[in-house]
Amino acid sequence: MGTAFITGAGIRVGSAVARALGRAGYDLALHAHRSVASLESLATELRSLGRQVTLYSADLADPDAVDALGARVRQEHPALDVLVHNAGLFERIDFASISRAAYRRMLGVNLDAPFFLTQALLPSLLAGKDPLVVHLTDIGGERPVSQYAHYSVSKAGLIMLTRALAVELAPRVRVNGISPGTVAFPEDFDEAARHAILQRIPLGREGSVEDIARTVVFLAREAPYITGQIIAVDGGRSAQL
């Protein structure tokens, strides 16, 4: 089937994407930063399905670590079929309080890391079969939410990177974004915050990490004519004012 590399694969959306691609038959190169223990148990589960799994750990806020990760994955996987940039920082801060360090870290993880990892892995992608890059963007990258200015800017950049690479890397490499609405609440959101968000979702409920995972599998397996698109998986939230 081929090989997929997924960043931030230890927990939540990333682990669901890895599990779905593994079940679809892909061998896996999986990255985590802090969630190494859960990444290892996911690897055990996927190996029991007969998949080859290689594991990587890196802080994607550190440009040297990003470069080292890209070089290692490229060396160990000379052909890659799917690259999913899932790792991301999400942080609520008033605009007036965002330090230069917090801004740099946000942009580093959410935008610079996907940019330079794809660049490093381009030779592997070009050796893959119908290669696909997927960015986990956010509906908030097009319509901002207050107190997330640096996050919104990072995701807006990632949306443009999706379109820019879809144009430049065609026809060999497809590049698409998936914009979740709410598929897994941040653990620190209380009941009131959750209720306020659910009220604004036409389908009246949060999505699930599997909604994202099956969209990645769809793009990989069923969508050879889709590139440069941002697919909202948000229960209709971005459709209304």
Ligand X SMILES: NC(=O)c1ccc[n+]([C@@H]2O[C@H](COP(=O)([O-])OP(=O)(O)OC[C@H]3O[C@@H](n4cnc5c(N)ncnc54)[C@H](OP(=O)(O)O)[C@@H]3O)[C@@H](O)[C@H]2O)c1
Cβ distance to ligand X smaller for residue 90 or 115: 90
Which 3 state secondary structure label does DSSP give 47?
helix
Which listed residue (183, 201, 217, 230) binds ligand X by CB under 6 A? 183
Active-site annotation holds for 151: yes
Structural tokens at position 181: 């609405």
Q: Which candidate in 103, 148, 151, 225 is catalytic?
A: 151
Question: Per CB under 6 A, does 141 bind ligand X?
Answer: no
Q: Residue 34 Cβ, how far from ligand X at the closest point, in Å?
A: 3
Q: Which of 157, 210, 216, 164 is nearest to 183 (CA)?
A: 210
Contact 91, 155 (CB under 8 A): no
Q: How far is CA 85 from the centre of its chain?
A: 4
Minimum separation from the CB atom of position 176 to ligand X (A):
14
Q: Which residues are paired to 134 by β-bridges?
A: 84, 176
Check residue 174 for interaction with ligand X (CB under 6 A).
no
Q: Which of 18, 30, 43, 60 binds ligand X (CB under 6 A)?
A: 60
Minimum CB separation from ligand X for residue 16, in Å? 8
**What span, in angstroms and rounded, lies between the C-alpha atoms of 61 and 187?**
22
Q: What SS3 class is residue 158? A: helix
Q: Residues in the site for ligand X, rule: CB under 6 A?
A: 8, 10-14, 32-35, 59-61, 86-90, 109, 136, 138, 180, 182-184
